[in-house]
Amino acid sequence: MRSIKTQYFLGYAVIGSIAPYAPVYLEGRGLDDAQIGWVMSLGGLSVLLMPVMMGLLADLKLENRVLLRGIFTGVAVALGLLLASQGFWWLLPAFLLYALSSSPMMSLTDGLLFSVRGLREAEGKPTPPYHRIRVYGTLGFIAPSIVLYVLMAYYKAPVSVSLACGIVVALMAVGNTLLLPRTRGVVGVVTAGPEIPGTPGEPGEPDPPEARGKPLPTMQALRCLMQPDVALFCVAMWLAWIATSTYYTFYPLYLTREIGVGDEWLGLISSLGVVPEIGYILAFGWLLKWLGVRWLVTLGLAAVFARVSLLYAVPTLWVALGTQLIHGMTVLALFVVPPLYLNHRAEPAFRNSIQGLFAMLVFGTGRIMGNVVSGQIANYYEGDTITAFGFAAGSAGLSMLMFGLLFRDRSTTQIKP
């Protein structure tokens, strides 16, 4: 499990190197708010394609570690092109390559972890809960902000140093993939939730003749997502991601424009929300046991709504910093519960594909909608990012009410952390 923990750390360290600084970097390269919204929406466009494709490849028994090696190499190349690009039409394809490369990073890592957990359970070995592995990603997100603060505050490095940091971390992640466990013959193991009667094949064995000719894993995953309770879960998550993508894109610009914060503080302020996140994630098993999926996710969506509403209504430094303290609850609702819930509802044959399909239909389209619409709103009001958060608050409020009032988990077993 050590190499998987390291992969979570490095994967989220790449995100921590880029996400807090990307909108400000794009602004420095001459892009207006509408153009920033379009460029950042490419992260959602890439999610329409890559995670579902990678999930299908993984379910077809290609090794996760080989796929991860390729995408982290692509991330390093794309960040190098971003450093060399200037102007909207050059930055657009460079960022698209970064988005295409980075979008399947964590869904593939999740699939790898679930597969290895299943193998360990089959062998009678201890299996750490998902959230106790995922917490290494939280630590990884924090690490670059400290390094970048020192470089930018004391050595006066430009904000572009964040991209250079991302390149270094991505290359380290490429090296770590050589240490990841093999997944060939492991992917079909039941990893969470109920055992599915009649599941063909044991780990490493070919499927029997009667199992051949079954639908592609992607189609089986789609049927699962169309079940009423799973579909409602997806719609609520989609609305929440419209709000959240607005937050991630315009919060750095909100800090620099509306509040007057220096670029060197952006990573540390983002980490201010991520540090308490460690406690939230470590408490996840207890919260899930006592609240269940419905109320745990509802609280997380309430945190999304409260955060963007406060940024809209009270644009001050202390509110901007204080809203970071509830960031951990939003992470549980948007990042921790979804892969576990989907893994719980999936069958072994499409365990990777359902993660990728959810990323495509929900995460991807939600990010596109949120970034494009909020970018147009901010540009229409001449750079007023506060108004964009009003739009986000409406979407988050609808998500919270829909999920809290209507969601019922119709599965007969409990989610296993």
Q: Assign 276 a pLDDT band (cuts: 50, 70, 90).
A: confident
Residue 236 sits in a domain whose CATH number is 1.20.1250.20
Q: What is the mean pLDDT of residues 333-358?
A: 83
Asked if residue 255 is part of any domain, the answer here is: yes
Percent of the chain whose pLDDT exceeds 90: 46
**Residue 206 pLDDT:** 45
**Total domains present in the chain:** 1
Q: Assign 8 a pLDDT band (cuts: 50, 70, 90).
A: very high
Distance CA 197, CA 200 (A): 9
* 79-126: pLDDT as tens digits: 999 999 988 999 999 999 999 888 888 878 887 888 888 788 878 888
Q: Assign 75 a pLDDT band (cuts: 50, 70, 90).
A: very high
| Burial of 340 from C-beta contacts in 10 A (0-12 / 13-18 / 19+) | buried
Structure tokens at 76: 């390093």
Asked if residue 95 is part of any domain, the answer here is: yes
- Count the helices and strands in the chain (H runs, E runs): 19, 0
Distance CA 139, CA 141 (A): 5
Whether the CB-CB separation of 316 and 259 falls below 8 Å is answered with yes
Asked if residue 414 is part of any domain, the answer here is: no
* 165-187: pLDDT as tens digits: 999 999 999 999 999 988 665 44
Q: Assign 44 a pLDDT band (cuts: 50, 70, 90).
A: confident
**Residue 115 pLDDT:** 80
Asked if residue 175 is part of any domain, the answer here is: yes
Residue 347: which of 156, 118, 131 has the closest Cα? 118
User: Which of 38-42, 82-86, 144-148, 394-398 has the lowest average pLDDT?
Assistant: 38-42
Asked if residue 201 is part of any domain, the answer here is: no
**Residue 281 pLDDT:** 85
DSSP state of 256: I
Compare 409 and 263 and report the one with higher pLDDT. 263
Asked if residue 413 is part of any domain, the answer here is: no
Mean pLDDT, the chain, rounded, equals 84
Domain that holds residue 65: 2-182+215-406
Structure tokens at 215: 């639908």
Q: Assign 161 a pLDDT band (cuts: 50, 70, 90).
A: very high
Structure tokens at 347: 């069958």
Q: What is the mean pLDDT of residues 298-316?
A: 95
* 244-256: pLDDT as tens digits: 999 998 999 999 9
Distance CA 92, CA 142 (A): 27
Task: Write down how long the chain is.
Answer: 417
pLDDT at 54 over 70: no
Q: Alpha helices of 283-363 — where are they, by DSSP H?
A: 284-313, 317-322, 327-331, 337-345, 351-358
**Residue 211 pLDDT:** 46
Whether the CB-CB separation of 189 and 119 falls below 8 Å is answered with yes
Residue 97: which of 110, 109, 111, 84 has the closest Cα? 84
Q: What is the mean pLDDT of residues 132-139?
A: 89
Asked if residue 192 is part of any domain, the answer here is: no
Distance of CA 183 to the CA centre of its chain: 22
Q: Assign 69 a pLDDT band (cuts: 50, 70, 90).
A: very high
Q: What is the mean pLDDT of residues 327-354?
A: 86
Asked if residue 347 is part of any domain, the answer here is: yes
The model's pTM: 0.75
* 193-216: pLDDT as tens digits: 333 233 333 334 444 444 455 677
Structure tokens at 14: 């790449």
